[in-house]
């Protein structure tokens, strides 16, 4: 069962593996560039080689990339939409160079144009990139969102609609964030509500499309639509939700990545990962 955490790439993408080893990662998530900037220097050949060598040495995998928070493929404004497409294309190509299987992205925000218009805008962008073969075989993982502001992806119907609009199903799957779905109104705290939530997901999207979990507790209560991560068992979700998840046989082999708050020493990552592993029934 691959547990892991989001790791810093300070000093180069290859440096993430030593940090991942330090906290006990079996899988790992990174940014491939500075996530707060549009521009990114090309990955040097030496750094690409070092990344692949470090992955082989450490055995950490899969490695998943999260795209820049600036990107909004659902933007109605043409300038931002085109800029976002160029940036997302670069993210895909960086993943291809590093042999990264999955690129996580939020489905964007409609910024007032309406949910259907935003989803259609997102789909046009994805179809254009996939039609052009950008990123090779890298799979885009649509991440469930909390639904802050005009963000899309907080209803399972949004994801289902994108799969309707984008026929490239070999290039698209889902990343479920436990904090986000809870904040969006999907309860997973009891066996009954957990089963109901994933039955609804399966009916609309298909649980076979889940390729990654972001495993985070929530600082805010059910249906708050506020995205604030908390340490495992210390938020409104509580331990039982995570016990149910890590013991669900459907998801045993799916990477489970924490994105919980941490300091420079990353002791919190060690504590959260140790706690999650302790919940697994032998």
- The catalytically annotated residue of 6, 19, 54, 66 is 66
Identify whether 69 is a catalytic site residue.
yes
- The catalytically annotated residue of 177, 186, 243, 269 is 177
Identify whether 154 is a catalytic site residue.
no
Determine if residue 67 is labeled as part of a ligand binding site. no
- The catalytically annotated residue of 143, 155, 186, 217 is 143
Q: Is the peptide bond before 62 cis (omega within 30 degrees of 0)?
A: yes
- The catalytically annotated residue of 93, 115, 259, 271 is 259
Whole-number Å distance between alpha carbons of 250 and 58:
27
> Which residues contact residue 42 at a Cβ distance below 8 angstroms, ignoring those fewer than 6 apart?
none
Identify whether 264 is a catalytic site residue.
no
Question: Which of left, alpha, beta for 243 (phi over 0: left; psi -120 to 50: alpha)?
Answer: alpha
Determine if residue 214 is labeled as part of a ligand binding site. yes
- Percent helix, strand, coil in the chain, to 5, is 45, 15, 45
Whole-number Å distance between alpha carbons of 172 and 143:
11
Identify whether 229 is a catalytic site residue.
yes
Determine if residue 240 is labeled as part of a ligand binding site. no
Identify whether 106 is a catalytic site residue.
yes
- The catalytically annotated residue of 171, 229, 231, 243 is 229
Determine if residue 227 is labeled as part of a ligand binding site. yes
Identify whether 158 is a catalytic site residue.
no
CB 107 within 8 A of CB 142: yes
Determine if residue 180 is labeled as part of a ligand binding site. yes
- The catalytically annotated residue of 6, 19, 106, 154 is 106
Identify whether 269 is a catalytic site residue.
no
Question: Which of left, alpha, beta for 111 (phi over 0: left; psi -120 to 50: alpha)?
Answer: left
Catalytic residues: 36, 66, 69, 106, 143, 177, 180, 214, 227, 229, 259
- Residues tagged in the binding site annotation for Zn(2+): 66, 106, 143, 177, 180, 214, 227, 229, 259
- Residues tagged in the binding site annotation: 66, 106, 143, 177, 180, 214, 227, 229, 259
């Amino acid at each position: 069962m691959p547990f892991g955490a989001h790791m810093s790439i300070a000093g180069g993408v290859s440096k993430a593996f030593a940090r991942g080893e330090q906290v006990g990662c079996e899988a790992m998530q990174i940014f491939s560039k500075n996530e707060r900037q549009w521009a990114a220097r090309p990955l040097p050949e030496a750094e690409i080689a070092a990344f692949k060598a470090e992955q082989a040495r450490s055995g950490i995998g899969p490695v998943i990339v999260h795209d820049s928070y600036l990107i909004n493929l659902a933007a109605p404004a043409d300038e931002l939409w085109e800029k976002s497409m160029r940036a997302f294309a670069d993210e895909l190509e960086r993943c291809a160079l590093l042999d990264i299987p999955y690129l996580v992205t939020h489905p964007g925000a409609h910024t007032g144009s309406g949910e259907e218009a935003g989803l259609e805008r997102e789909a046009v962008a994805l179809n254009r990139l996939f039609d052009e073969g950008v990123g090779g075989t890298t799979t885009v993982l649509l991440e469930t969102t909390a639904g802050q502001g005009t963000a899309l992806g907080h209803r399972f119907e949004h994801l289902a609609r994108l799969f309707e609009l984008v026929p490239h199903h070999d290039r698209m799957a889902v990343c479920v964030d436990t904090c986000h779905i809870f904040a969006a109104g999907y309860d997973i705290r009891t066996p009954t509500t957990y089963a109901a939530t994933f039955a609804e997901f399966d009916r609309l999207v298909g649980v076979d499309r889940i390729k990654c979990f972001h495993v985070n507790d929530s600082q805010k209560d059910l249906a708050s639509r506020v995205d604030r991560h908390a340490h495992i068992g210390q938020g409104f979700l509580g331990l039982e939700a995570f016990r149910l998840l890590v013991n669900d046989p459907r998801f045993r082999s799916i990477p489970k990545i924490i994105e919980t708050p941490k300091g420079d020493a990353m002791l919190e990552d060690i504590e959260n990962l140790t706690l999650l592993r302790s919940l697994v029934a032998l």
